[in-house]
Amino acid sequence: MAAALSAAAWSVFAAELPITQTEPVIVTATRFSDPTERFPIGVAVIAEDEIRRSTASTVPELLRELPGIRVRDLSGSPNLQVDLRGFGIFGDQNTLVLLDGQRISENEQAPVNWSAIPLSAIERIEILRGSGAVLYGGGATGGTINIITKAPRRNERFGFVSGGAGSYNTREVGTGANLAGEHAGLRANASHFESDNYRDNNRLRLDNAQADLRWWGGAGSLTLKLGADDQRVGLPGSISEGQLAQNRRQAATPGDFSTLRSGYLNLGGETTLVFGELAVNMGYREKDTDASFFVGTPFRNNVETRVTVRSFTPRLKVPHRLGGWEHSLVVGIDADDWDLDSTAGPSVVGRPHAVQRNAAAYAQHTTLFPGDIALAVGLREHRVTYGVNDPANPGAAETRKRTLSAYELAVRRRLGESLSVYGKLGRSFRVPNVNDIYNLFTATVTMLEPQTSHERELGADIRSGRGRYRVALYHMDLDNEIFFDPIAFSNRNLPPTRRYGLEAEGKWRVGDGLELFANYTYAVSEFRAGSFGGIPIAGNEVPLVPRHALNAGAGWAFAPRTRVDAVLRYVGSQVFDGDESNTFGRKIPAYTVVDFKLLHEAGGWLFSAAVRNLFNEKYFSYGVFTGFPTFSALPAPERAVFVSAQYAFK
């Protein structure tokens, strides 16, 4: 193990930077720009330099190197499922994802459209584990991930062009520019990607573009952010155990495919008032998908879906002093309308129109007490209307209104220069999405109650010499967890469930140009009561949650402009999807993958060469129990190479 850890490598801090750094400014914890140390619960930040040096090529691949985050391929799409703190097949419905503070998590059983966010457009990613319900609403039980895109830089003009090629006939080109003066600026990115990918019928074509227009005034700023993407991907489907042994690359569904087109607009403004800061955002997002597939019949089905989302999010921050202590109050309102229309045929009979209307008010108050103690208290009152109707089936229509609440109490105490301890209590919720309550194949509605959770966490942050460390213990009790019942072939509210675990990580600067890191996750997800098909499941493991996971690595800048980075990922065995009764007797096998990357700078050029799955591990991150004695799975890619070059100009 020691040899493997020293051979694997991934950079956490830049080689030329000392270990002591200014605390980064974050926005996720308060919805305003604040130093991370001012809020009791720390936010993990993946900075721009770390993104550039990482062996990852997409946001999910980058996130899976962090403790507590699992990533799995459920369909062969580039939009992988991201699961924070062990929610299994519904991981993406319990992990809230934001783009520049605006929600992009879906209200349908679909992952985030990660492929619309190229790494070159990202300034940093902020991860708030086990928090976010007070400030951002439903779906944040596992935590909140906020992707901050690059903004125009004042009085700077520069740009870049890039290109790359690799295994499986992969090709990519991209460009970007920053054009800004003293009072106005533009930042834009665009890219094209195509690949045959590892498996048959998994060809991907993807185009995307983003722009950020900004105006700076004496008392504030105005921002218009917009983006669009267009993708088409073949869907190879899961293959049987026998097919997996015969030919891992074959497609079970050689004609299936899906297309996705989406776009967004986000108009925002910030201004400084006499007593604080005011920020307002208005957002619009739309998505059109078209899927073509066979499903147990001789007929090809086409499902077309259109989603539109409108949002309005004003908020106010009021810093003040009371009793000689520093305080900060953040209050705000969230309002959004989400609509879905779908058509299908011929064996998919449902044609649903679904809605979700959210209106919420929240407040969060933070106090800095003497003795380096920070205390935060937050409350949210959330009203939601959700429902679905089918114009072709008047009997399939139902709507519910619910008033939900979330709270969080968090405290941090600094004990000397090197140690901080913290604790928190909270309540979060998740509102049922359209696929939770509506069955496309039967055109029937089964209304479910919102899911609620009570969370507790204790942790410590340590800085000692050249090292940084974090350890956290978390515990969640859930009621009415929304889950798919494979026996009834519909979703339902589960009996009580529980999740608890340990996250530990360390980062070290060993010497000039050499950094190491390691993190470990111990996660337990289990049913507390209930049964599936008459079989008691109390104490059983929730499927698709590995008990053990480990990431480790190092980065070595062995020359002034050249460095090598790599990462080792170990994911332990996990229960197959569909085996809630835990009677299959087999688990998804554990796997270990090593990725490698070499970077070299010369003038305005940046060259890179990456090898993913260096030792050609044959594994799969998703598998489903299909009946004794076997399963089906989506095999992960074997070894792949990708080389690229980028030229920056001014």
Which neighbouring-strand residues pair with 267?
224, 282
Which has the closest alpha carbon to 259: 305, 193, 194?
305
Domains and CATH numbers, the chain: 2-249+262-649 (2.40.170.20)
Strands 143-149 and 122-129: antiparallel
Q: Is residue 417 exposed (0-12), middle (13-18) or buried (19+ Cβ within 10 Å)?
A: exposed
Residue 381 and residue 387: Cα distance in Å, rounded?
Answer: 20
pLDDT at 8: 34
Question: DSSP letters of 123-176?
Answer: EEEEEEET--HHHH-TT-SSEEEEEEEPPPPTT-EEEEEEEEEETTTEEEEEEE
CB 440 within 8 A of CB 350: yes
pLDDT at 296: 58
pLDDT at 521: 98
Q: What is the 3-state secondary structure (H, E, C) of 523-585?
A: EEEEECCCEECCEECCCCECCCCCCEEEEEEEEEEEECCEEEEEEEEEECCEECECCCCCCCC
3-class DSSP state of 51: helix
3-class DSSP state of 52: helix
* 51 residue type, one letter: I
pLDDT at 297: 60
Average pLDDT across the chain, whole number: 91
Q: What are the φ/ψ torsions at residue 398 (nearest 5 degrees)?
A: -160, 145
* 247 residue type, one letter: N
Which has the closest alpha carbon to 40: 333, 318, 426, 321?
426
Cα separations (Å) of 608 from 185, 430, 450?
30, 42, 47
Residues of the chain with pLDDT under 50: 1-22
For residues 366-399, b (16+ Cβ closer than 10 Å) or e, as one string? bbbeeeeebbbbbbbebebebbbbbeebeebeee
Hey, what are 600's tokens? 């070299």
